[in-house]
Amino acid sequence: MNPFEMVVAIIVVITIGKVLQARYGVVKASRGDRMEGLAVRDPTEKFEADRLRDEIRALKERVQVLERVITDNENSLRLDHEIEKLRDKNRI
């Protein structure tokens, strides 16, 4: 292996390591200690992250309800008519 290939190989290994660190949320504290998971430095960031988690949880619940409504066969014909009525109202 020539020196150029060795340099390229080292850069590739370091890049893959950094991508994996970013993917799994590994960060280093100011003292160099490793902290696993999502590190939040600012209390407002923590509040925002908690709010977004709650919003995602609520959206997942809504998606589950919508999936249940859509896959319900006996109500699907009635639902189709209601959707068409709403589309007709929006066109006016």
Q: How many CB atoms lie within 10 A of CB 70?
A: 11
The pTM score is 0.38
In Å, the largest CA–CA distance within the chain is: 72
CA distance 89 to 83: 10
Classify residue 38 as left (phi > 0), alpha (psi -120 to 50) or beta: beta
Q: Mean pLDDT, to the nearest integer, of 25-35?
A: 63
Whether the Cβ atoms of residue 16 and residue 23 lie closer than 8 Å to each other = no
CA distance 68 to 76: 11
In tens, the pLDDT along 54-76 reads 999 999 988 888 777 777 766 66
